[in-house]
Amino acid sequence: MPKIIGLTGGIGSGKTTIVNYIASLGIPVYIADEAGKKVMQTQEVLESIKAEFGKVIFDKNQLNRAKLAAIVFENQDKLKALNAIVHPAVRQDFNDWLAKNQKASIVVYESAILFESGSYVNFDYILTITAPLESRIERVLKRESISRDQVLKRINSQWTDEQRISKSDFVVENIDIDLTKHKIDEILKILLIKQ
């Protein structure tokens, strides 16, 4: 059975860049956010979301993710309700994926809300990616058409770096990508030795 590495970090920390690098090394990577989008298209999950949030977040029977995001980022109770619907479906999807990757020495599970979801308890090691606040804000503003205030609301809806670091086995500050890749290489060597 492979060692499971949970990889996390706040919005704008550069997790996608890191997981793309890790995947380029031939290590299987599971991206929970992508899986969440996939399971949110299943009939069972859509029905649960409609029952919880109403038809107002659907346009012509299609889930409007922007409307849903606007609701859950403003209301912690609604975010918890959505997570209670989506997280079990993602967990099952991950278990199916893991069964297909049994021969790997290491697999990586990437999630921005690894701690908030409680899924971190299922992993062998936790790697947290951090970056300075202003760098994070700039990265998000470059890739999404949202305001600085909206970015800060998303950041504030997640755990702080300090909270994540306190529960992590490894921490990498992602400022210079070449230095970050070097640190990732070192961590992977350590983990492969621990096999």
13 annotated among ligand-binding-site residues? yes
According to the model, what pLDDT value does residue 12 have?
Answer: 93
Average pLDDT over residues 177-184: 96
Give 149-158 contacts, CB < 8 A, sequence gap 24+.
150/73, 151/11, 151/12, 153/73, 153/74, 154/11, 154/73, 155/10, 155/11, 155/12, 157/73, 157/76, 157/79, 158/10, 158/11, 158/112, 158/113, 158/116
Q: What is the mean pLDDT of residues 80-109?
A: 93
What mean pLDDT do residues 70-99 have? 90
pLDDT band per the 50, 70, 90 thresholds, residue 195: low
Query: Residue 158: which pLDDT band, with cuts at 50, 70 and 90?
Result: confident
Is residue 14 a known part of a binding site?
yes
Could you tell me the pLDDT band of residue 184, with boundaries at 50, 70 and 90? very high
Beta-bridge partner residues of 171: 128
According to DSSP, the residues that pair with 6 across neighbouring strands are 109, 126
Compute the radius of gyration of the chain from its Cα atoms.
Answer: 17
Residues 6+ away with beta carbon under 8 Å from 65: 37, 40
pLDDT (mean) for 172-193: 94
Q: What is the pLDDT of residue 2?
A: 92
- Binding residue per annotation — 130? no
157 assigned binding-site residue: no
Q: Give me the domains of the chain, ranges plus CATH numbers.
A: 1-28+106-195 (3.40.50.300), 34-100 (no CATH)
Burial class of 26 by CB neighbour count within 10 A (0 to 12, 13 to 18, 19+): exposed
pTM of the model: 0.87
Confidence bin at 118 (pLDDT 50/70/90)? confident
Rounded CA separation 114/7 (Å):
8
What's the mean pLDDT when you consider all of the chain? Answer: 92
Confidence of residue 79 (pLDDT cuts 50, 70, 90): confident
The answer for residues whose C-beta is within 8 angstroms of residue 47's C-beta and 6 or more apart is none
Q: How confident is the model at residue 60 (pLDDT cuts 50, 70, 90)?
A: confident
* Percent of the chain predicted with pLDDT > 90: 73
Long-range contacts (CB closer than 8 Å, 24 or more residues apart) made by 98-102:
98/2, 98/4, 98/30, 101/2, 101/28, 102/1, 102/2
